[in-house]
């Protein structure tokens, strides 16, 4: 943790020296200025000050003017104003402009030290919040959502355009496809990024609790409501609220949500007053809302309110070319968390992952990589390190073979199939034939022979076999 740095501004030289010595002994770095010009010069050096203590009445200007400048150009710094003149008007003005506190001279030294400690703690929290927000923004940018496949590129193109608007979005996709990740990316790329993003699973709680969570409640509204509670619509004012699994919402709650979307007002449970809210809604579902409308379990008018801009996330089995990228990302992620050197995955093991259907989508793949890193003894994740159900699913079965009514030239069919798989292996391995052979569980000699026979690659130089 870095040592806090203080800037103390006062035209009384004896007091300035005393305060500098006092806070240096407390372990702080202290910079001083005896006038406004000197203070502005210190602030212009590029140094970061955690706390500024400034006298209001200076010979060359007002400390309130410096306070205004600090809040505009150095908002992370806490400010304590000092004066020898007791003035309620000045105190109110200083607090209105954003001062942390206001002290009158002469002051109690111990009280001043405690006040400085509290002001520095506030500066630390502000700085920490800024850092956390930057981390979140970097984590949930579109660049950090993995996918080079055409389906994902189409999703990226759409959500980047959507982010600039305040339109309601419905993210549709199977469980584990990353719907909340897309919702967060939309929020942090939007004009609402400086306000809150909150999420709630609409199917994870009973109706009365969901209503209280969304809209809040008054004290005594129901048994156990011992105090007033703000709802998520209050908490995300001017921000984004993510309603996950909206298809699980009861008909009664659907009516109440529809009213919010239509009129932009909410009413707490047990309350009578309506309050305006400005919240962007991003909803998500893994259910077919069209079928639910036909069955009478989801309101059609609500559907059209949330279906302003639909975003469909493809299942992982429809974007298999993204699997190597995702595997590499998760290996690095969990290696960092475990504090170990990243392992590699063999081409044969990667081929098994690419052949699997992934009913749990990206979430299932992530869990498998975390498990493999924890259980694999060596530096390379091999096929044998994968669960047996994955290895078995990659083996061909009888359902892949269909005999046409007119029969088939089996040898020619097998030659064509082998040539096609070899072409795919070469493409996946970047043209490196030894790796392509490993993907097909062939020796390099056999791969070279059939590659020549099929005309897949040009004549190879004869190599001496070890």
User: How many domains are there within the chain?
Assistant: 4
Count Cα neighbours of 176 within 13 Å in the Cβ-side half-sphere: 13
Q: What is the reported pLDDT for 465? A: 38
268: in domain: yes
The CATH number of whichever domain residue 280 belongs to comes to 3.40.50.300
Q: Is residue 272 part of a domain?
A: yes
d(CA 388, CA 384): 8
Instruction: Tell me, yes or no, whether 144 and 127 share the same domain.
Output: no
Contact at 8 Å (CB) between 84 and 57?
A: yes
Tell me, yes or no, whether 186 and 199 share the same domain.
Answer: yes
Beta bridge partners of residue 368, listed in sequence order: none
Give the start-end residues of each E strand in 10-168: 29-33, 51-55, 57-58, 61-62, 78-83, 101-104
Q: How many CB atoms lie within 10 A of CB 101?
A: 16
Q: What phi and psi, each to the nearest 5 degrees, are found at residue 410?
A: -60, -45
CATH number for the domain spanning 95: value is 3.40.50.2300
- Residue 372 near residue 381, CB atoms below 8 Å: yes
Pair (124, 178) in one structural domain? no
Domain annotation covers residue 23: yes
For Cα atoms 262, 266, 272, give the angle at the middle one, nearest 5 degrees.
125
- Stretches in the chain below the pLDDT threshold 50: 137, 140, 397-400, 459-466
Angle at 437 between CA 434 and CA 439, to 5 degrees: 115
Q: Please indicate, yes or no, whether residues 146 and 165 belong to a single structural domain of this protein.
A: yes
pLDDT for res 464: 32
30's tokens: 């202290």
* CA gap 269, 34 in Å, rounded: 57
CATH number reported for the structural domain that contains residue 338 in this entry: 1.10.8.60
pLDDT tens figures, 359-373 = 999 999 999 999 999
Identify whether residues 110 and 51 lie together within a single domain.
yes
Domain boundary among 395, 422, 437: 395
Q: How far apart are CA 99 and CA 54, in angstroms?
A: 10
Distances (CA, A) of 239 to 166, 178, 264, 279: 10, 20, 14, 6
Q: Which residues pair with 308 in a beta bridge?
A: none
Task: Say whether both 449 and 322 belong to one domain.
Answer: no
pTM score, whole prediction: 0.60
Looking at residue 426, what is its pLDDT? 84
Q: Kindly state whether residues 325 and 306 are assigned to the same domain.
A: no
249 and 179 in a common domain: yes
- From the list 350, 342, 347, 343, the residue with the least C-alpha distance to 326 is 350
Which candidate, 89, 84, 86, 90, places its Cα nearest to that of 105? 84
Short-list 163, 186, 182, CA closest to 172? 182
214 located within any domain: yes
Q: Is residue 42 part of a domain?
A: yes
In sequence order, which residues have a C-beta less than 8 Å from that of residue 447 and are 6 or more positions away? 422, 433, 436, 437, 440
Residues 238-263 have pLDDT tens digits of 999 999 999 999 999 999 999 999 99
The reported pLDDT for the residue numbered 398 is 47
The answer to whether the CB of 233 falls within 8 A of the CB of 266 is yes
214-243 core/surface letters (b: 16 or more CB in 10 A; e: else): bbbbbeebeeeeeeebebbbbebeebbbbb
Q: Which domain holds residue 389?
A: 317-395
**Residue 106 sits in the same domain as residue 159:** no
Q: What is the per-residue pLDDT for 139?
A: 54
Domain end (from 75, 107, 132): 132
Q: Is 209 exposed, middle or buried (0-12, 13-18, 19+ CB in 10 A)?
A: exposed
Centre a 10 Å sphere on the Cβ of residue 161 and count the other Cβ atoms it contains: 10
Domain assignment of residue 462, yes or no: no
Q: Which of 314, 333, 364 is the last residue of a domain?
A: 314
Same domain, 170 and 281: yes
How many CB atoms are located within 10 Å of the residue 70 CB?
24
Cβ 272 vs Cβ 278: under 8 Å: no
Separation between Cα atoms, residue 40 and residue 61, nearest integer Å = 12
> Residue 94 has what pLDDT?
84
Residue 167 sits in the same domain as residue 122: no
User: How far apart are alpha carbons 233 and 261 in whole angstroms?
Assistant: 11
pLDDT at position 282 is 97
Judged by DSSP in three states, 10 sits in coil
Residues 150 and 204 in one domain: yes
- Within-domain flag for 459: no
Sign of the C-alpha dihedral computed for residues 197, 203, 209 and 215 taken in this order: positive
Bridge partners for 6 per DSSP: 30, 51
Distances (CA, A) of 420 to 192, 350, 396, 426: 50, 19, 16, 10
What's the rounded Cα separation, in Å, for the pair 198 and 179?
14
| 256 occurs within a structural domain | yes
Rounded Cα–Cα distance for residues 251 and 258 (Å): 11
């Amino acid at each position: 943790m870095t040592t806090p740095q203080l800037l103390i501004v006062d035209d009384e030289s004896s007091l300035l020296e005393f305060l500098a010595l006092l806070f240096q002994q407390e372990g702080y770095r202290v910079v001083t200025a005896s006038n406004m010009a000197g203070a502005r010069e210190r602030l212009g050096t590029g140094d970061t000050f955690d706390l500024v203590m400034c006298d209001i009445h200076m010979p060359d200007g007002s400390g309130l003017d410096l306070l205004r400048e600090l809040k505009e150009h150095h908002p992370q710094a806490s400010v304590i104003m000092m004066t020898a003149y007791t003035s309620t008007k000045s105190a109110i003005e200083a607090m209105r402009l954003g001062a942390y506190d206001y002290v009158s001279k002469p002051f109690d030294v111990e009280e001043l030290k405690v006040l400085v400690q509290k002001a520095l703690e506030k500066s630390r929290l502000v700085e920490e919040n800024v850092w956390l927000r930057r981390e979140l923004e970097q984590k949930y940018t579109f660049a950090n959502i993995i996918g080079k496949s055409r389906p994902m590129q189409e999703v990226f193109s759409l959500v980047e355009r959507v982010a600039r608007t305040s339109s309601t979005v419905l993210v549709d996709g199977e469980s584990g496809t990353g719907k909340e990740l897309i919702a967060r990316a939309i929020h942090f790329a939007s004009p609402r990024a400086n306000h809150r993003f909150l999420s709630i699973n609409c199917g994870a709680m009973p109706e009365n609790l969901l209503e209280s969570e969304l809209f809040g409640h008054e004290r005594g509204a129901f048994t156990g409501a011992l105090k007033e509670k703000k709802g998520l619509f209050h908490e995300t004012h001017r921000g984004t609220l993510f309603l996950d699994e909206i298809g699980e919402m009861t008909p009664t709650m659907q009516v109440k949500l529809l009213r919010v979307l239509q009129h932009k007002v909410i009413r707490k449970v047990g309350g009578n007053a309506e309050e305006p809210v400005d919240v962007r809604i991003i909803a998500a579902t893994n259910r077919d809302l069209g079928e639910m409308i036909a069955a009478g379990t989801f309101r059609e008018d609500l559907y059209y309110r949330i279906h302003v801009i639909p975003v469909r996330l493809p299942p992982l089995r429809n974007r298999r070319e993204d699997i190597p990228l995702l595997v590499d990302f998760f290996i690095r992620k969990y290696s960092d968390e475990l504090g170990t050197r990243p392992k590699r995955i063999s081409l044969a093991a990667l081929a098994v992952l690419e052949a699997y259907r992934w009913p749990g989508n990206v979430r299932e793949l992530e869990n498998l990589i975390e498990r493999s890193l924890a259980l694999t003894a060596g530096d390379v994740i091999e096929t044998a390190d994968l669960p047996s159900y994955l290895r078995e699913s990659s083996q061909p079965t009888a359902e892949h073979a269909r005999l046409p009514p007119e029969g088939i030239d089996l040898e020619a069919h097998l030659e064509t199939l082998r040539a096609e798989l070899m072409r795919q292996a070469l493409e996946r391995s970047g043209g490196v034939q030894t790796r392509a052979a490993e993907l097909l569980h062939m020796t390099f000699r056999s791969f070279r022979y059939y590659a020549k026979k099929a005309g897949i690659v040009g004549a190879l130089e004869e190599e001496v076999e070890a």
